[in-house]
Structure 1
Amino acid sequence: MLRSELPSSEYNPFYQTYLLALGDVDLVQELIRGRDELVALLEEIPEDRLSFAYGEGKWTLAEVLLHIMDAERVFQYRALCFARNDQTPFPGFDQDEYVPQSNASARTKDDLLKEYKAIRESSLCLFNSFDDEILKRVGVASGSRMSVRAMGFIISGHQAHHLKIIHKKYL
């Protein structure tokens, strides 16, 4: 399934920036490519760089990485629920409340790598299990109709968005 096949009616306009960051990519192939990109980047980052923040009140690099993981888990769960036709509306999640609770300063690079790989592998297993009908199922999150396939592309686009910031401001 290609990004160009995702109609804007299947996601909140807030996520447009993330989706445009992807171009016209295949959902599962982009999850794989994104995994490989983040793993390669993280393997090269010196351990002491994880505590770097580019400004007062900005997240550290470790916090950004954990934010990417937290968001992937949230979107993954929503995708699972929508895929199973759960019509329970899901509230938004406040990233600014999650990050301070992440205990990022106590995490090592190896620990972050291990956790990221597990989360992404879980996303790959989940999205590989969906057929075209399931990918088109819709639920409500943050007050907007969202499809299963939109959740997959948002996972990839959100990470791509933050990787651009990491390259520009953290490295």
Structure 2
Amino acid sequence: MLASELPKAEYNPYYQPYITILGESSFKGCLQQGSELMVDFMKSISTNKLQFAYDDGKWSVAEVLVHLIDTERVFQYRALRFARNDATSLPGFDQDAYVPHSKANKRNLDSILKEYLAVRKATISLFESFDDEMMCRGGMASNSFMSVRALGFLICGHERHHKQILESRYLI
């Protein structure tokens, strides 16, 4: 399936930019190729840029990278619950509360990269374990319906969105 084919009923309109940014990306392709592009991008970041934030109150580069990892984990969990047909409504999460407690600015790039690779490998394995029926299942998260396959695309689109911000506003 392509991102552009994902029915809008399978995710909250808030997430539309994350789907749109993927264009004609395939589901499997965006997880694997996105990972390869992100790893190359992360390796290009100089150590002295890691704690840089482009304005007061904005996250540092390290905080953005760890935010991507945290969000991927949250979306993995949602996908697992929904794929297993768990009908429990899941709460949202406060990304702005997570960031300072991540202590991302105390980490080095190798540590962040190692965690990113482990999480993405787990994401790919998780989604590869889902059959078509599981991918079409969904549930409630943050008071909105989300399908399993939408969550996979959102992981990719969220990552691409933040990569573009890092490139344009952080000048990386």
TM-score for both structures, normalised by structure 2: 0.97
Matched residue, 1:3: 3
Cα distance change of structure 1 residues 5 and 131 upon mapping to structure 2, 3 Å threshold: farther
Q: How many residues end up aligned between the 2 structures? A: 171
Alpha-carbon separation, structure 1, partners of 2:130 and 2:84: 10
* Structure 2: 5+ residue stretches without partners: none
Query: Residues 41-80 of structure 1 correspond to what in structure 2 (within 5 A)?
Result: 41-80=41-80
Query: Residues 6-21 of structure 1 correspond to what in structure 2 (within 5 A)?
Result: 6-21=6-21
Alpha-carbon separation, structure 2, partners of 1:106 and 1:55: 19
3-state SS, counterpart of residue 54 of structure 2: coil
Q: Deviations over 1:101-150 (max 9, x none)?
A: 01011111100110000000000001111111110001100111110000
3-state SS, counterpart of residue 146 of structure 2: strand
Matched residue, 2:158: 158
TM-score for both structures, normalised by structure 1: 0.98
Query: In the alignment, residue 17 of structure 1 is paired with which amino acid?
Result: P
Query: Residues 1-171 of structure 1 correspond to what in structure 2 (within 5 A)?
Result: 1-170=1-170, 171=172
- Measure how far apart 1:71 and its partner are: 0.5
Alpha-carbon separation, structure 1, partners of 2:5 and 2:169: 33
Displaced runs of 4+ in structure 1, greater than 4 A? none
Q: Deviations over 1:41-90 (max 9, x none)?
A: 11111112100000011100000000011100000100000000011101
Query: In the alignment, residue 114 of structure 2 is paired with which amino acid?
Result: K
Contact 2:3 2:20 in 1 (8 A): no
Alpha-carbon separation, structure 1, partners of 2:126 and 2:2: 17
Contact 2:4 2:19 in 1 (8 A): no
* Aligned sequence identity (%): 54
Coordinate RMSD, CA, aligned: 0.7
- Measure how far apart 1:169 and its partner are: 1.1
Contact 2:53 2:59 in 1 (8 A): yes
- Measure how far apart 1:4 and its partner are: 2.8
